[in-house]
Amino acid sequence: MLWTASLCVLWASSVLGAPVNNEKQKVLLISFDGFRWDYDRDVDTPNLDQMAEDGVKALYVTPPYLTITSPTHFTLLTGRYIENHGVIHNMFFNTTTGEKKSYYQSQFVDQWWDNGTLPIWITAQRQGLKAGSLHFPGTASSYQGQFVMHKEVEPQLYNYKNETAWRENTDKVMSWFRDKNVNFVSFYFGEPDGTGHRYGPDSNERREMVKQVDRTVGYIRQSAERHGLTHRLNIIITSDHGMSTVYRNGLVEEITLSKIPGFSFGDLSFHLVDYGPSGMLSPKPGRLEAVYNALKGAHPHLHVYKKEDVPEHLRFTKNDRILPIILWADPGYVINGYFPVQFNKGEHGYDNQAMDMKPFFRAVGPAFHKNLKVGPFETVNIYPLMCHILGIEPEVNDGHLDATKHMLVTSTAARAESSSHRKYMKNAFTGLAAVAGFLVIVFAAAVVQRLLKQKRKTKRSGSLRDLPEKEDAHQTPF
């Protein structure tokens, strides 16, 4: 009887607790570094256009500040603003020892990345899914002792422009999805950032590179089809930041800190400058006001803030790694230290409100509406969107599904609303099943006890005469 009851409970809970859609959807997150929101306006991009027709196109998205590669990519992977996830710069630095590491070297410094916020790979893996990452910033590091399951980190001297390699990498990622049954992959391309820096965002070279990106988008979608993934794979293509033309050739007065009256590098214990339009300074004890007063208002296109006074929309204050004085320049300018050493024609790292800093966004796949144009949203919201499609519980984050839910087809969007209700129902059922199971045991114990009592009674009287016939025959079988 008990055995039958347990079987019933097991059967019922497996039916009622089953997910609505048994076939899990997959997500491929692609970043083309430095692809500004409007790069498809002065170049023919048939494949990006086709993707917009088959899926969703946002007017643009807003990255977090500081608009540089590693910090903004880690926001895509975590849904947290930079001050909250702590990867505040491309460069690992130590203000005590004065050590600074390059973008590439910093990829291998675990403590720089692993400081409390888990990227989506680890969360997905902890919840039973498989994740992969190819060249995406943050891939090389471990998080609370765990690595992304399938990973490829580019070698130090890597040609980020090679279109053949782009295609080989694409096929590799698709085979992870098909042959290793991976659920989520992040996939990074180093262009058109490199070309935008070198030749400027308005150059012919940049336009040619956008054509290469467009061909690759076509190739990615073909490869997904060849690998039989189209009906399960959702492809999100976006970027970390945009690009802005730098004024050169004596057109403007450049910002060079050493030339500013009253400012001295001798007042600093540590600094990060000569890194595009942003800078951070750590004054020596007692020198903060002197440094701040010398720099504030020294150049019409240089913004100088004490850490705690940084404008709220930048959300670049609440982290111990952020230095006491923050500098940034208006679009068109860079911040030089002793003398100009930066000669890029394009830069990023500006205020995230500047239109030149906004990336593009496209998405296609079974979870997304077709031919839908949507308004802008912040890139912190991409993380909860991906978690939702994958069916995983997100970590604490700064995004919200409400910002992107309208891009999802009804069944997927409805799942967002019903998932909490379903969870409640499942819990309620589990509770009821437990109570029922307990009652079964109590009842069975009572019956057994009564039978034993009767048996003893009969033994004592030495006769079966007084025993009511088939006393428990009328009990209801379970």
Catalytic residue set: 69
Please identify, using beta-carbon distances, which residue of 69 and 139 lies nearer to Zn ion: 69
Please identify, using beta-carbon distances, which residue of 193 and 356 lies nearer to Zn ion: 193
In whole angstroms, the minimum distance from the beta carbon of 405 to Zn ion comes to 32
The structure tokens listed for 243 are 């690009």
Please identify, using beta-carbon distances, which residue of 114 and 193 lies nearer to Zn ion: 193
Tell me which stretch binds Zn ion (CB under 5 A): 102-110, 185-193, 258-266, 286-294. 185-193
Residue 213 contacts residue 239 (beta carbons within 8 Å): no
Tell me which stretch binds Zn ion (CB under 5 A): 11-19, 190-198, 255-263, 267-275. 190-198
In whole angstroms, the minimum distance from the beta carbon of 240 to Zn ion comes to 8
Please identify, using beta-carbon distances, which residue of 69 and 125 lies nearer to Zn ion: 69
- Residues 471 and 478: their CA atoms lie apart, in Å, by 18
In whole angstroms, the minimum distance from the beta carbon of 34 to Zn ion comes to 5
Q: Is 356 in the site for Zn ion (CB under 5 A)?
A: no
Quickly count: other Cβ atoms within 10 Å of residue 324's Cβ: 16
In whole angstroms, the minimum distance from the beta carbon of 195 to Zn ion comes to 10
Tell me which stretch binds Zn ion (CB under 5 A): 14-22, 177-185, 193-201, 426-434. 193-201
* DSSP string covering 223-271: HHHHTT-TTTEEEEEE-S---EEPP-TTSS--EEGGGSTT--GGGEEEE
Which own/partner pairs from 161-170 qualify as long-range (CB within 8 Å, at least 24 positions apart)? 161/190, 161/191, 161/194, 161/195, 161/209, 161/212, 163/212, 163/215, 163/216, 166/212, 166/216, 166/219, 167/216, 167/219, 167/223, 169/134, 169/135, 170/216, 170/219, 170/220, 170/223
In whole angstroms, the minimum distance from the beta carbon of 191 to Zn ion comes to 10
In whole angstroms, the minimum distance from the beta carbon of 196 to Zn ion comes to 7
Taking CB under 5 A as the criterion, the residue among 193, 356, 378, 398 binding Zn ion is 193
The vertex-109 CA angle with 104 and 113, nearest 5°, equals 100
Please identify, using beta-carbon distances, which residue of 15 and 157 lies nearer to Zn ion: 157
Size of site (CB under 5 A) for Zn ion = 1
Q: What sign does the CA torsion over 346, 348, 354, 358 have? A: positive
Please identify, using beta-carbon distances, which residue of 55 and 349 lies nearer to Zn ion: 349
Q: For residue 36, what is the DSSP state?
A: B
**Taking each helix axis from N to C terminus, what angle separates 382-390 and 69-78, rounded to the nearest 10 degrees?**
40
Tell me which stretch binds Zn ion (CB under 5 A): 133-141, 187-195, 290-298, 421-429. 187-195
From first CA to last CA, the distance across the chain in angstroms is 6
Q: Classify 189 as helix, strand or coil.
A: strand
Residue closest to Zn ion, measured at CB: 193
Quickly count: other Cβ atoms within 10 Å of residue 387's Cβ: 23
Return residues touching Zn ion (CB under 5 A). Answer: 193
